[in-house]
Structure 1
Amino acid sequence: MNISFSAACKQTQPPMVNFPGGLINIIPRHRRKEKVVVVMGATGTGKSRLSIELATRFDAEVINSDKIQVFKGLDIVTNKVKEEECDGVPHHLLGFVDPTADYWAHDFVQHASAAADDITKRGRMPIIAGGSNSFIKALISDDHHFRSRYDCCLLWVDVEKPQLNSFVSARVDQMVDSGLVEEAREFFDPAGDYSRGIRRAIGVPELDEYFRSEGSASTSAKAKILSRGIDQIKSNTQILAARQRQNIQRLLNILRLAEHLEWRMYRLDATEVFRKRGEEAEEAWQRLVAWPSTSLVGQFLCDDKMDFAGQLILGPTTAAPVVV
């Protein structure tokens, strides 16, 4: 399977960190391995936003690790990041696989390693972001090439279940308004096989009954069937979020027992962000997620405290370190 990489300018100066108030020169110590940041979390927690914000501050590129978003199509259903949301940050392994093909962890490892190698050769930092923890484990824990070449810092964006469930439910309604049903109709399978490729995506199997009812059921009956399908999408998305959180805990335990790994993981509790609205939510995001992540990644790159205008900056880091 061929893969193309987004072009980017080769970095010839020390990394520049874009903090509020100006850019900061980061002068890293001599390091044995290249640096990679991994942004993890359940669906809806803000992984894409954080990865893009970090990429703009640290001259990085994003490698998608979501096992459904690798497929072409269903941009609304799979909630792919929009071009206008990327802020000019190149994204790799996003919408490049045939929607009917199989794509496994070993395929991801091959492509993600190649993307990371390409990014670092051009003087930039890879940021791996996505909710498919089996893909992340296969890459950072099981792949010898990646382990021997890269040092990782893992950022876990976490949100308590009630707040996240409420958010993903509202997000499904927004996706429906944006054309989710029309988009899913293109992948309706009369044979009822939703076990392969992009048809596995939440949002397609749940609408099977509705698509079958078109042309035969009454308008009111179809409306009820559609409502049930949308409710099922919400329920299955919430179940997915809970499973992803459990998988992160499982991955943490695996990394903790892996003696050959000395990587750092930090949990960033973004629950307060989801309890607020408007400017208050934005302030909470910056205080609880964006700034602590920037501080942690800066220290990770330098293996030390960051230096800003001669002053040591630790920042109000609220991230809880998890020793692995």
Structure 2
Amino acid sequence: MDVKQKLLVIIGPTAVGKTKLSIELAKRFNGEIISGDSMQIYKGMDIGTAKIKPEEMEGVPHYLIDIKDPSDRFSVAEFQELVRAKISDIGKRGKLPIIVGGTGLYIQSVLYDYQFSEAPGDDVFRRELEQKARQKGNEVLHKELAKVDPDSARLLHPNNLRRLIRSLEIYHCTGKTMSEWQKDQKHDLLYHTAIVGLTMDREKLYERINTRVDIMMKEGLLEEVRKFYEEGLRDCQSIQAIGYKEFYDYFDGKVSLETAIENLKQNSRRYAKRQFTWFRNKMSVEWFDMTDTNPFSKKIMAISRYVEGKLGIKSNTY
């Protein structure tokens, strides 16, 4: 009988504290970290994606960061393939693979036997949607999706053009919504998995998100985005990310800088809400409240004990 590879997954909304926790758990369980964020793969998109800094890694190896140019396309299927290969590699070296991130569908695609090649496509229809978005804006497609697949529309931000188009394309080709298509996929976990979810009082989380945006601005987020804008990078997957699209409106003269910053804060708060909804509805998660982490060591202890019991392994620190 094949023994499933052990895997730790740490999920939760933006700004909840996944990075700090993941480093502590990696050190305790001899782990290596795989980014589960669909935008941290892009080189140069550091501040806006809250990418971990080298000095914050504390010697823990990190993967799937800075592997694509911002002009490149990146799919869930490619993520699935890359992460599964990395899980295998880490496991063979006697380490514990740890996926950390907040991009729900991407992480879900790794854990379950999703066959993305089976989802049909229509190149002509897809190009028509892309043209419509350029001419009339992403909101038009988002409203179209809301009519046929309200569940997916509720989880997707209008800026996420690629996923909007893919959801409409699947409905166009099959008559099934993305949600219905996913339900037809096999939902058996491929790995011996412990899924740790981090939650927090909503008001405190929103306060942390607002503060994080202010810090990003001080660290040079505007200059980071301006570089891509001046390079002519536009109408591509990376620039649809929250933290980038908002400032393109400012550079285009459509909104003031103050409005762009407030839009970023609002979009980030809404994204956090969608992340909570996704994880609670789509995955079997053991939730830990991070509202009060004083002392942090006590919270780490509780989470470590859960991981030990779930995966049948011992941590190397107490």
**2:70: which partner in 1?**
99
Whole-Å Cα distance in 2 between the matches of residues 146 and 119 of structure 1? 24
Q: Which residue does the alignment assign to 2:118?
A: none
> Is 2:44 the counterpart of 1:73?
yes
Counterpart position of 1:4: none
Unaligned runs of 5+ in 2: 116-185
* Aligned twin of 1:26: none
- Relative to structure 1, is the Cα distance of residues 187 and 293 closer, same or farther in structure 2, using a 3 angstrom cutoff? same
In structure 1, which of residues 17, 24, 34 is the aligned counterpart of residue 5 of structure 2? Answer: 34
Query: Alpha-carbon deviation of 1:202?
Result: 1.3
1:286 aligns with 2:257: no
Distance across 2 between alignment mates of 1:37 and 1:169? 29
The 8 Å contact of residues 187 and 204 in structure 1, kept in 2 or not, is answered as no
SS of match in other structure, 1:94: coil
Deviates more, 1:143-152 or 1:106-115: 143-152
Counterpart contact for 1:71–1:197, Cα < 8 Å = no
1:287-322 deviation line (CA, Å, top 9, x unaligned) = 23x11111111223327xx699xxxxxx9xxxxxxx
Structure 2 counterpart of 1:197, one-letter code: Q
Structure 2 CA distance, aligned partners of 1:287 and 1:300? 19
Contact 1:66 1:132 in 2 (8 A): yes
Indicate whether 1:302 and 2:312 are aligned. yes
Alpha-carbon deviation of 1:238?
0.4
2:279 partner letter = I
Q: Counterpart in 1 of 2:291?
A: 271
Deviations 1:78-106 (A, max 9, x none): 11001111010000111111211111111
SS at 1:271 equivalent:
coil
Aligned residues: 247
Higher helix share: 2
SS in 1 for 2:256: helix
User: Which protein has greater RCO, CA pairs closer than 8 Å, 6+ apart?
Assistant: 2
Cα 1:227–1:135, aligned 2, differ >3 Å: closer, same or farther?
same
Deviations along 1:150-195, one digit per CA (max 9) or x if unpaired, are: 210000001121110000001100000000000010122798944x
Structure 2 residue corresponding to 1:204, chosen from 238, 244, 247: 244
Partner of residue 251, structure 1: 282
CA distance in 1, matches of 2:224, 2:234: 18
- Which structure 1 residue ranges, 5 or more long, are not aligned? 1-29, 214-221, 256-264, 274-280, 309-314, 316-324
Q: Taking structure 2 as the reference length, what is the TM-score of the superposition?
A: 0.71
Does the alignment pair 1:177 with 2:218? yes
Shift of 1:31: 8.8
Matched, 1:233 2:233: no
TM-score, normalised to structure 1's length? 0.70
Higher strand share: 1
Shift of 1:270: 0.8
Q: Secondary structure at the match of 1:188?
A: helix
Q: Which has the larger radius of gyration?
A: 1
| Equivalent in 87, 96, 108 of residue 58 of structure 2 | 87
Partners in 2 of 1:120 and 1:241 — Cα distance?
31
**CA deviation string 1:35-74 (max 9, x = no partner):** 1000010011111111111111111100111011111111
Given residue 57 of structure 1, which amino acid in structure 2 is its aligned partner?
R
Q: Matches of 2:190 and 2:281 in 1, distance apart?
A: 24
Q: RMSD in angstroms over aligned alpha carbons?
A: 2.8
Q: 1:267 to 1:41 in 2, by over 3 A?
A: same
